[in-house]
Amino acid sequence: LGTAAAVAFAGTAAAADLTVGFSQIGSESGWRAAETSVSKIEAEKRGIDLKIADAQQKQENQIKAIRGFVAQGVDAIFLAPVVATGWDTVLEEAKDAEIPVILLDRTIETSDDSLYLTAVTSDTVHEGKVAGDWLVKTVAGKPCNVVELQGTVGSSPAINRKKGFEDGIASASNIKITRSQTGDFTRAKGKEVMEGFLKAEGGGKDICALYAHNDDMAVGAIQAIKEAGLKPGTDILVVSIDAVPDIFKAMADGEANATVELTPNMAGPAFDALKAFKDSGKAPEKWIQTESKLYTQADDPMKVYEEKKGLGY
Ligand code: AHR
């Protein structure tokens, strides 16, 4: 935001006085469900009134929800944008109403970055690169055909995790992506698309590794690999992103190999940035970056599973 807009959005407010509308994507994955519960917990801790609208994966529902929040005159809007494009008009409406918008976990493509106050996200290109680097190191020069399960078409993590992984394997001529298709970030679609990959690739004999843009699709694909009579984690390496409890169970069973952690606590830093902004009128950094940590089977997956279980999952 420019200084004038920042001042217009500001004005002192105790956290308890704040009402925040959150346009959430839906509940496509375990990670998403955890993000929703953690948001409620973080709001409650701060005495913030959080109104969550579940868009059931549809951008049109998110646009309607944002318009509803503007009409209600909320103090701020959190938006987890299902896809990256098509937000300018509705965000201009929020800006005209002097309601700051904070992006959570996904980014948007816009030529006007004053349409949002800040974005609390991980570096999704980096996540893909971490997964790619892990594979390069793990296969150590051996030929490796990779199948890729992409996230929701047009979403920032699907675009960026694809790019990051490709960057990670770029220097390894032994590694090739032979199939790549969307599994829409869901377990069911991950399984279904993996079944197709297995059929198309010699029953799976020609697949060395699966790269999934989230753990839920990996978990669905693991089921498909087992049903095809192969051992996930051994016959086909499995690397994915999110670090949800179920992938640690799979790692403990030797059925998944690595995951890159994405914290479900995007709302906590967003509430803090909002509160500081309301108190001071000073706009926060445009990007509040969350960490991305690699976990492998060497990281005591059962212990991590137990730790994760208590964290909103
Ligand atoms: O935007 C974050 C992604 O959305 C998570 O990695 C995925 O599980 C979710 O659906």
Nearest CA to ligand 1 atom 3: 157
Alpha carbons 22 and 160: distance in angstroms, whole number: 24
List pLDDT tens digits, range 210-246.
999 999 999 999 999 999 999 999 999 999 999 999 9
- Characterise 141 by phi-psi region: left (phi > 0), alpha (psi -120 to 50), beta (else): left
Nearest by Cα to 288 from 302, 271, 305: 271
CA dist 216 and 29 (Å) reads: 6
Q: Is the CB of 106 under 6 A from ligand 1?
A: yes
Classify the complex by whether its ipTM is higher than 0.90, answering yes or no: yes
Per the model's pLDDT, the better-predicted residue between 1 and 63 turns out to be 63
Q: State the pLDDT at residue 67.
A: 98
- Residue 8 has a CB neighbour count (10 Å cut-off) of 14
Write down the pLDDT at residue 17: 82
**% pLDDT > 70, the chain:** 95
Other beta carbons within 10 angstroms of residue 47's beta carbon come to: 11
- Segment 141-149 shows an average pLDDT of 98
Instruction: State the distance from the centre of ligand 1 to the C-alpha of 32, rounded, in angstroms.
Output: 6
As a whole number of angstroms, the distance between CA 119 and CA 270 comes to: 8
- Tell me, using a 6 A CB cutoff, whether residue 32 lines ligand 1: yes
What is the pLDDT of the chain when averaged over all its residues?
A: 95
Residue 223 corresponds to which tokens in the numbers above? 């089921």
Indicate if ligand 1 lies below 6 Å from the C-beta of 33: no
Give me the sign of the Cα torsion angle 68, 87, 153, 221.
Answer: negative
pLDDT at residue 7, rounded to an integer: 40
Work out the average pLDDT over 194-199: 98
Does the pLDDT of residue 13 top 70, yes or no?
no
Distance CA 165, CA 197 (A): 19
Rounded Cα distance, 43 and 150, in Å: 32
Range 152-174 burial, b when 16+ CB lie within 10 A, else e: bebbbbbbbbbebbbebbeebee
**Does residue 5 or residue 147 have the better pLDDT?**
147
Give the percent of the chain with pLDDT over 90: 93
pLDDT, one tens digit per residue, over 182-195 is: 999 999 999 999 99
Per-residue model confidence (pLDDT) at position 12: 44
pLDDT surpasses 60 at 300: yes
Residue 294 above 50 pLDDT?
A: yes
Distance of CA 27 from the midpoint of ligand 1 (Å): 10
Mean per-residue pLDDT for 247-254?
98
Q: Is 29 in the pocket of ligand 1 (CB under 6 A)?
A: yes
Q: Using the mean position of ligand 1's atoms as its centre, give its distance from the Cα of residue 29 in Å.
A: 7
185 CA from centroid of ligand 1 (Å): 7
Check if 257 has its Cβ closer than 6 Å to any atom of ligand 1. Answer: no
Nearest to residue 106, comparing CAs of 69, 86, 79? 79
What pLDDT score was predicted for residue 190?
Answer: 98
87 C-alpha to ligand 1 centroid (Å): 19
Map residue 300 onto helix, strand or coil. Answer: coil
| pLDDT band, very low/low/confident/very high, at 16 (cuts 50, 70, 90) | low
**Ligand 1 atom nearest to CA at 242:** 6
Identify the residue whose tokens are 């917990």: 41
Cα 60 to Cα 63, 89, 188: the distances in Å are 5, 12, 24
* pLDDT for position 312: 84
pLDDT the model gives residue 267: 98
